[in-house]
Amino acid sequence: MASAELRQIRRRISSVNSTKKITRAMELIAASRIVKAQQRVKQSIPYAEKLTEVIRNVARASGGVAHPLLERRDVKTVGMLVISSDRGLAGAYNANVIRMAEAAMIEHGREDRELKLFLVGKKGQTYFRFRGYHIERAFLGVTDAPSYGDARAVANTLLEAFATGEVDAVEAYYTRYVSALNQQATRYRLLPVEPPGVEGAEEEAATVAYTYEPSPGEILDRILPRYVEAAIFGMLLESSASEHASRQRAMKAATDNATELVKILTRVANQARQAEITTEISEIVGGAEALAEARGE
Amino acid sequence: MAKTFHVDVVSPEATVWSGEATFVVARTVEGEIGILADHEPTMAALATGAVIIESDGDRTLIGVHGGFLQILDNQVTLLTDRAQISEGGRDVAARIAAELQELEEAEEELEAEG
């Protein structure tokens, strides 16, 4: 009959083992998702690059472009887009990006700027709501596998807020996917749009005399919102890849810890069992001796 | 053999088509445009419709909705909002384009409601 101690240890071992099964499954799922998410990041790059190139060419060709989306205003209200995840168990993924955003919010507060919060992901929503921040809008259910439509929805909201003067600038906080082992919370200035690389350095590429269909102004009208959409789409994809990578690492650590814990607990259980057997044997021997003594009397 | 030029058809989510071509037809907001090698630099807004890419007798049809067309130094870039290669003829490609447009409108409606 196993002692209470031994029984308790055995119960813990089986509980740790079932936890391990779960973390192991989550690790494998995350690992398979990273590959897909990475591919999507890679596939979205040609569009973003070409778009940047086109904007650069148009900006250069039409010389000193003026457009509402490029206009720098005195910043009284800052729109903040914070991209977190819907689900937890991803290590420090959400904490890092949220902490960075909150630090910036405090900084803006010091400079007497008003804030408007736009959030992607439930974790950010929960965090900021709990701390009593007013949330302008939260987008949920997009971080697992973001589509371009999701990015467009976010972009439309921000572009409208910027156009109506509700916000004078928009900063985005997301997690950049550097590599499978390295993801970094990053700040990106989304609005006003900074025309990509119109630096004088590469001026040798003489201005191109384009034929426009329709006018350059109308082309810019169409292309700049696309640029914002593509930027947001890129950030969503990178954040998603980062989320899966973080989760995979966190779950791998949890699985390893569980393995280690089972090993230690098994040793403790063996020791307890051994002690029990020893006790039983000495009881039997003691009993036998007592009997022999009684008989040989 | 006709002179070729490089064509990229990209959408935000992927590169749809990339390669050398001898002749391209696309629809811009101002009408149809036919492109041969050494076309003048052009920047145009794309409309919804079929894009035809001809290369060495091969013909690729793509349904395209929205975006831009850039022609520069024998590099033709179609930055589409949505694009899908069509297996059928030109009318099929045009129908795909129309469907892509409907899809986008439906998504926008959903967004407006949500």
Rounded to whole angstroms, the Cα distance separating A200 from A70 reads 18
**Contact between chains at B72 and A208 (C-beta distance less than 8 A):** yes
| Complex ipTM tops 0.95 | no
Question: Which CATH superfamily hosts domain B5-113?
Answer: F0F1 ATP synthase delta/epsilon subunit, N-terminal (2.60.15.10)
**Mean pLDDT in chain B?**
88
pLDDT of residue A206: 55
Instruction: Tell me the pLDDT tens digit for each residue of A192-245.
Output: 888 766 554 455 455 667 888 788 788 888 888 999 999 999 999 999 999 999
| One-letter amino acid for residue A32 of the chain | S
B interface test, pick of A42, A43, A50 with most B CB neighbours within 10 Å: A50
Domains of chain B, by residue range, sit at 5-113
Residues of chain A under the 70 pLDDT cut: 1-2, 62-65, 196-208, 297
Contact indicator for A44, B12 with CB cutoff of 8 Å: yes
In this structure, whether the domain defined by A4-27+251-295 belongs to CATH 1.10.287.80 is answered with yes
Lowest model confidence (mean pLDDT) among A87-91, B11-15, B26-30, B91-95: B91-95
Q: Which residues of A touch B107 (CB under 8 A)?
A: 149, 152
User: What are the C-alpha distances in Å from A9 to residues A13, A68, A255, A275?
Assistant: 6, 68, 19, 14
CATH of domain A32-248: 3.40.1380.10
Domains of chain A, by residue range, sit at 4-27+251-295, 32-248
Top-confidence residue, A255 or B55: A255
pLDDT of residue A196: 67
**A126-156 burial: b if 16+ Cβ within 10 Å, else e:** bbbeeeebeebbbbeebbeebbbbbbbbbbb
Residues of A with CB under 8 A from a CB of B: 40, 43-44, 46-47, 50-51, 53-54, 57-58, 61, 147-149, 151-153, 156, 208-214, 216, 218-219, 222-223, 226, 229-230, 233
pLDDT of residue B114: 61
pLDDT of residue A19: 94
Phi/psi for A91 (5° steps) reads: 65, -135
pLDDT of residue A23: 94
pLDDT of residue B91: 82
Nearest CA in chain A to B10: A47
The answer to whether residue B25 neighbours chain A at the CB level (below 8 Å) is no
The answer to whether residue B45 neighbours chain A at the CB level (below 8 Å) is yes
pLDDT of residue A297: 64
Average confidence (pLDDT) over B95-108: 85
B interface test, pick of A60, A65, A210, A232 with most B CB neighbours within 10 Å: A210
Q: Is 0.90 topped by the overall pTM?
A: no
